[in-house]
Amino acid sequence: MTTAAAPLVAEFRFGLDAPICLTWELTYACNLSCVHCLSSSGRRDPRELTTAECKRVIDELERMQVFYVNIGGGEPTVRPDFWELVDYATAHHVGVKFSTNGVKITPEVASRLAGSDYIDVQISLDGATAEVNDAVRGRGSFATAVRAMQNLAAAGFAGFKLSVVMTRHNVGQLNEFKAIADRFGAQLRITRLRPSGRGADVWTELHPTPAQQRELYDWLVAHGENVLTGDSFFHLAGYGQELPGLNMCGAGRVVCLIDPVGDVYACPFAIHDAFLAGNVRSAAGFAGVWRDSELFADLRRPQSGGACTSCSAFDACQGGCMAAKFFTGLPLDGPDPECVRGFGEAALATADATAAPRPSGDHSHRTAPVPISIGPRPADSGAAASAGLIERSMPDRACDQSPLAGFTPR
Amino acid sequence: MSTKTLDFDLDSAWRLHPQVSVRPERFGALLYHFGTRRLSFLKSRALLTVVSSLDSQPSARAACAGAGIGPAELPAYARALATLAASQMICRKTAS
């Protein structure tokens, strides 16, 4: 009566008063340039929400009783006001789970994080070896993530998450990922690679092969009870057994994304104008977008299964992931590109790949990645800046300041 | 008729766990436990009434009666409360 999800799925399809799972990307700035970045992050956007605007969003989330937000980016911890916002959220009964590559998780930060029940940390790692990880996430990123995990474990932070995007090169490392998580007292979380953001450019080469999808499914069935998946593999339910979690697309129904400039999208993997519901800066705020946007109202109406309706697996897989179809140029009411029955491959073979929609924004670094942190204008820098306690400053005008202004190489 | 033994103590005093937040929804409510970071669901408004009134009632049985739960429905509610107790969403009121 309390936990069986099956009948609730029907309720969830019609949407809830507030999202269960809200992703909030605080900045497009990132010290890395992962080849599959779902938000094409790299450079900060001058229009990003200010500290005060972020706090207003948190106030709204508190009123809406959103239990926790999944904060990401970019690399959220490079925002100078990141810890201030985390403290503000937890003080307002909004829990924070943030994703990081680990760059700012020093021993001091780790101790601080370990002291709060309302903060959870997710360390991103896409290879169980430096060779596999760094090929996707950049040189040195394996070592950075491992150091962060060592610091968290040493600080006594039990049960933080080790988050892995499954690719062709790491499906074979599942047991090794589990071993790494166990070594640091962390919980393994694996999610699906989507053709979103820069991921659109590498999806064809990086997404698991059909044989690997089966391997992944079998591994989840055998070992999955303590492994989180972000409910992202429901397209694999077509193999037979439903995987633990919510087997449905939650976009705009129980899930959404707030991006760094306040735009609200149906899900984190759908940064495209077609899935843009509104902006938190509008008069009615985030709550107004969530409750009244036409796009979300559409998503909450019964959906057509289209060509999939007659397939015996449809009840299990629900046609798969909307974003995966969209960015590979497939119709939204047809099979997922990674359909376990092979209908997606057939559809891709005849689809015009050049006609696939391109992700709307691109904040990628224009050159090779450089280690950056967001700093104030030079006039504001000083002792506070070197202590990492700098106030966030706004550019004079949009596009009038380099996102690297004030950046000091170290 | 199923009269499975209930391992839920209806006559004790119970309360919502202090780390749990409750969000009413059309179908009942969502519960989130900040300590275990687990989400749970209450699938009816009546169950929400029961859970919300645990703290102010001397026993779970009294909370059910106060919410208008009849004897026929009581076993189902006891099972639901047992599940909530197992996941630490509700806990016994201790003499504190």
pLDDT of residue A389: 45
Q: What average pLDDT does chain B have?
A: 90
Residue of A nearest to B31 (CA): A67
Which H or E run contains A113?
Answer: helix A107-114
What single DSSP character describes residue A228?
B
Q: Mean pLDDT, to the nearest integer, of A225-240? A: 90
Flag whether pLDDT at B58 surpasses 70. Answer: yes
Q: How does A41-56 read in b/e, with b if 16+ C-beta sit within 10 Å?
A: bbbbbbbbbebeebbb
Query: A1: which chain B residues are within 8 Å (Cβ-Cβ)?
Result: 43-44, 47, 76, 79-80, 83
Nearest-neighbour CA in chain B from A385: distance (Å): 33
Nearest-neighbour CA in chain B from A96: distance (Å): 10
Distance CA A360, CA A40 (A): 10
A300 touches chain B (CB under 8 A): no
Q: Model confidence over B7-45: pLDDT tens digits?
A: 899 999 999 999 999 999 988 999 999 888 888 999 899
Q: Mean pLDDT, to the nearest integer, of A297-325? A: 90
Q: Which residues pair with B21 in a beta bridge?
A: B32
Q: Mean pLDDT, to the nearest integer, of A22-46? A: 97
Enumerate chain B positions whose Cβ falls within 8 A of a Cβ in A: 19, 21, 23, 25-27, 30-32, 34-35, 37, 39-44, 47, 76, 79-80, 83-84, 87, 89
Cβ–Cβ below 8 Å for B83 and A2: yes
Q: Which of A2, A20, A120 has the CB atom closest to B80's CB atom?
A: A2
Distance CA A36, CA A361 (A): 14
Please give the single-letter amino acid code of residue B85.
A
Query: A67: which chain B residues are within 8 Å (Cβ-Cβ)?
Result: 21, 23, 30, 32, 34, 39
Q: Which of B19, B27, B40 has the CB atom closest to A117's CB atom?
A: B19
Q: Model confidence over A234-281: pLDDT tens digits?
A: 999 989 887 877 778 899 999 999 999 999 999 999 999 999 999 999
Please give the single-letter amino acid code of residue A298.
D
pLDDT of residue A397: 54
Q: Model confidence over A1-18: pLDDT tens digits?
A: 444 444 677 788 888 889
Nearest-neighbour CA in chain B from A77: distance (Å): 22
A-B CB pairs within 8 A amount to 61
Mutation for testing the B interface, residue in A8, A67, A300 having most B CBs under 10 Å? A67
Query: B31: which chain A residues are within 8 Å (Cβ-Cβ)?
Result: 2
Flag whether pLDDT at A376 surpasses 70. Answer: no
pLDDT of residue B14: 97
Flag whether pLDDT at B77 surpasses 60. Answer: yes
Nearest-neighbour CA in chain A from B3: distance (Å): 17
Confidence of residue A302 (pLDDT cuts 50, 70, 90): confident
Return the minimum-mean-pLDDT range out of A383-397, B3-17, B37-51.
A383-397
Q: Mean pLDDT, to the nearest integer, of A151-159? A: 97
Q: What is the pTM of this model?
A: 0.85
Flag whether pLDDT at B2 surpasses 50. Answer: no
pLDDT of residue A218: 95
Q: Which of B34, B44, B80 has the CB atom closest to A117's CB atom?
A: B34
HEC string of A120-137 equals EEEEECCCCCHHHHHHHH
Q: Model confidence over A317-357: pLDDT tens digits?
A: 889 999 999 999 999 999 999 999 999 999 999 888 788 89
Which H or E run contains B92?
Answer: strand B90-92
Residue of B nearest to A5 (CA): B41
Cβ–Cβ below 8 Å for B26 and A20: no
Q: Which two tokens stand for residue A355?
A: 């006609």
Confidence of residue A125 (pLDDT cuts 50, 70, 90): very high
Residue of B nearest to A97 (CA): B37
Residue of A nearest to B35 (CA): A117
Q: Which two tokens stand for residue A354?
A: 């050049």
Confidence of residue B94 (pLDDT cuts 50, 70, 90): confident
Residue of B nearest to A12 (CA): B27
Flag whether pLDDT at A43 surpasses 70. Answer: yes
- Assign A68 to helix, strand or coil: strand
Give the rounded distance of the alpha carbon of A55 from its chain centre.
21
Which H or E run contains A178?
Answer: helix A174-183
pLDDT of residue A388: 45
pLDDT of residue A247: 78
The half-sphere exposure of A94 on its side-chain side, counting CA atoms within 13 A, is: 30
Q: What average pLDDT does chain A have?
A: 89
Query: A3: which chain B residues are within 8 Å (Cβ-Cβ)?
Result: 40-41, 83, 87
Nearest-neighbour CA in chain B from A192: distance (Å): 22
Confidence of residue A373 (pLDDT cuts 50, 70, 90): low
Nearest-neighbour CA in chain A from B58: distance (Å): 23
pLDDT of residue A283: 96
pLDDT of residue B12: 95
The half-sphere exposure of A345 on its side-chain side, counting CA atoms within 13 A, is: 7
The vertex-A169 CA angle with A216 and A104, nearest 5°, equals 100
Q: Which two tokens stand for residue A1?
A: 């009566």
Q: Model confidence over A170-193: pLDDT tens digits?
A: 999 999 999 999 999 999 999 999
Residue of B nearest to A1 (CA): B80
Nearest-neighbour CA in chain B from A79: distance (Å): 25
